Amino acid sequence: MARVVQQNGEIRVLLGRCKDCEYFEPFKKDKGFGRCFCEKFVYEEHVKSPTTDMLIYGDYEGYYADFYVGENFGCIHFKPKRG
């Protein structure tokens, strides 16, 4: 859910932030960071049908890779929390 706004003569696109997203799960110990469980963010070995709006991550040795996001990060796959 993006919003288009005009600020100081510039047009900007505002995206929803992770802290307000249904896919975001904050870490208990690392305040301000957490994991995103959006189905569009996939480890390279689990990609079945890639699409151009995915984040595909991997590692060089093929063991395990992970990523985490800051609570103020935002993206096109934002889905507001229910409730």
- Give 57-81 pLDDT, tens digit per residue: 988 887 778 889 999 998 889 999 9
Structural domains of the chain, count: 1
Q: Would you say residue 83 lies in a domain?
A: yes
User: Which is more confident, 17 or 11?
Assistant: 17
Q: How far is CA 20 from the centre of its chain?
A: 11
How confident is the model over 19-29, as pLDDT tens digits? 999 999 999 99
Domain housing 52: 18-83
Residue 41 falls inside a structural domain: yes
Q: Please name the residue that has the structure tokens 């510039």.
A: 10
Choose among 67, 69, 71, 78: nearest CA to 32: 71
Q: Is residue 80 part of a domain?
A: yes
**Residue 1 domain flag:** no
Report yes or no on 5 lying in a domain.
Answer: no
pTM for the predicted model, two decimal places: 0.77
